[in-house]
Structure 1
Amino acid sequence: MASGRKFYSIERRAHRDGYHMRDVDNQFLNDELLHKRLGKEWIWDGLPTELLSAVDVDDVWKRWRVNLMSGGEERDVRVSEDAGRYLCDFIYYSSLAEVERRGEEKRVLFLHVPVEADEGSVRRGVEITVELIRAVVVSRMMREVKMGVEAEKMHVDAEFR
């Protein structure tokens, strides 16, 4: 949850370093000190300071907005470039780092939601989240179709040379 925000946002990138706020248990991450002390044994050793999702965030955002407009009421959904260097950013970086280590495509997204928890807000949140999932799936399907068409075109072009 994003305290103080009235909008939903999907995060494009996550950060490894720069966590200087205390968490919910009043603790600091102190990862930079661990990095110096552990060297190659540090959990994030060899990983970049910033990781980006492989999801086409801009395409997903456009589709998400269109999906939500069909309901008639404008919903404030955005793309964010900074998850906040707090628990959310850390969780997002950890998720992206795990698939990066495995050598897999980073098909990971993080959704920040407003803090309101009344019945209407929760109902609205469900609708917004379902439409985001729909946008992610359609975006991925369209990307795969496009890649298939381009591969087929290359195959046909090669046959006629």
Structure 2
Amino acid sequence: MAETADKTAFRILVAGFGSVSHVQPRDLPNPAFEIIKRLPSTLSPTNTSHTQPNLEIVTHPDPLPSSYHGLLHTVPALVRDNIEAVDLVLLIGVAVGQEYYSVEQSARRDGYHEVPDLDRRTLAKGEGVEIWGRKSRESLATSVDLAAVVEAWHEELAGVQYDQGKGKKVGSKNGEGPGRARQQLPPEVRHTDDVGSYVCGLVYYATLAELVRITEERTTAEATPGKKNVEGRAVFLHVPLLLGEEQLEMGYGVVMALIKALGMVDSNAAR
């Protein structure tokens, strides 16, 4: 665990994208970064589990650029400047057309030549090898047990009521007349392996690749006491395109529940 004032705390760095391209105007706030701006710096354990550690949240103050080359410039410094002080990196992006929240297993080095970014640029075929080297892996995955995380995530969300029907009744107009009340259900959360070949995929791969590079540097250099293994210590979260204050508040609650689940699983794995 990272060395902090609270030796038992789980510290997580959270970063997310700014503008949403290809779908909405550039000035539309990205729900990923809107949620990040609302996160607290500390979070005490809930009553859900006595094994949950205290949580410390470090939010990256600037939105990640929705451009391939911008990310290649930003990510290495972002990782290296923070990895000694945190236990995990959580990256958040929006998945337009997706109605559920998903934590992604892996990302690929190549394939970013088809969809132009916000600057209307792509990465050429083979550019990934030039960037990360011939020995770089075609795919990199998180080392976090995401199946266990989603299970804990479900448990965290189960104790919260979500009025997805906004008080209206199913089968009636404006909630009037015959019909039954909509069931209050928590948002759907999943463990998937579909981060894509756009900026979400690139930022995930670039982050995991930098963590691999740091780990390799440590294994070839003289052993330094207290240096932890950081390979795979990142997770990517896709959120839906949340619009309006009500949806953003729900998204905030879902992300908070995920952070608690990540801390819980990490704490149990360290035992």
Shorter chain as normaliser: what TM range? 0.7 to 0.9
Partner Cα separation in structure 1 for residue 187 and residue 97 of structure 2: 17
Deviation at 1:34, TM superposition (A): 6.7
Cα–Cα, structure 1 residues 106 and 95, in superposed 2: closer, same or farther, change >3 Å? same
Contact 2:208 2:231 in 1 (8 A): no
The one of 47, 53, 69 equivalent to 2:142 is 53
2:251 aligns with 125
1:106-145 superposed matches below 5 A: 106-145=232-271
Give the match for residue 82 of structure 1.
Answer: 194
How many residue pairs align between the two structures?
Answer: 139
User: TM-score of the superposition, structure 2-length normalised?
Assistant: 0.49
Name the structure where helix makes up a greater proportion of residues. Answer: 1
Give, in angstroms, the shift of residue 75 of structure 1: 1.4
Larger strand percent = 2
Contact 1:65 1:77 in 2 (8 A): yes
Task: Give the match's secondary structure for 1:74.
Answer: coil
Moved over 6 A (4+): none
3-state SS in 2 of match to 1:78: strand
TM-score normalized by the length of structure 1? 0.82
Pairing partner for 1:7 from 100, 117, 137? 100
* 3-state secondary structure, aligned to 1:43: helix
Instruction: Give the secondary-structure state (helix, strand or coil) at the position aligned to 2:96.
Output: coil
Higher relative contact order (CA 8 A, sep 6+): 1
Instruction: Give the counterpart letter for 1:128 in structure 2.
Output: V
Q: CA offsets, 1:72-118, max 9 Å, x none?
A: 43211111212011000000000000001111331100111111221
- Which residue of structure 2 lines up, in the alignment, with residue 44 of structure 1? 132
TM superposition shift of 1:4 = 0.9
3-state SS, counterpart of residue 110 of structure 1: strand
Is the CA contact 1:51–1:96 (under 8 Å) kept in the aligned structure 2? yes
Q: Per-residue deviation at 1:127? A: 0.3
Distance (whole Å) between structure 2 residues aligned to residue 116 and residue 144 of structure 1: 35
Q: Alpha carbons of 1:22 and 1:144: their partners in 2 closer, same or farther (altered >3 Å)?
A: same
- Pick closer, same or farther for the CA change 1:33–1:105 going to 2, 3 Å: closer
Identical-pair percentage? 32
Once the two structures are overlaid, the 10-residue window that deviates more, 132-141 or 25-34, is 25-34
- Structure 1 residue identity aligned to 2:262: V
Q: Indicate if the aligned counterparts of 2:105 and 2:142 stay in contact, CA closer than 8 A.
A: yes
Give yes or no for contact 1:69–1:75 (8 Å, CA) kept in 2: no
List runs of 5+ in structure 2 lacking aligned partners. Answer: 1-93, 162-184, 216-229
| Matched-pair contact (CA < 8 Å) for 2:110–2:128 | no
After superposition, the C-alpha distances for 1:34-55 in whole angstroms (9 at most, x for unaligned) are 74xxxxxx22112101001011
2:158 aligned partner: 69
Unaligned runs of 5+ in 1: 36-41, 146-161
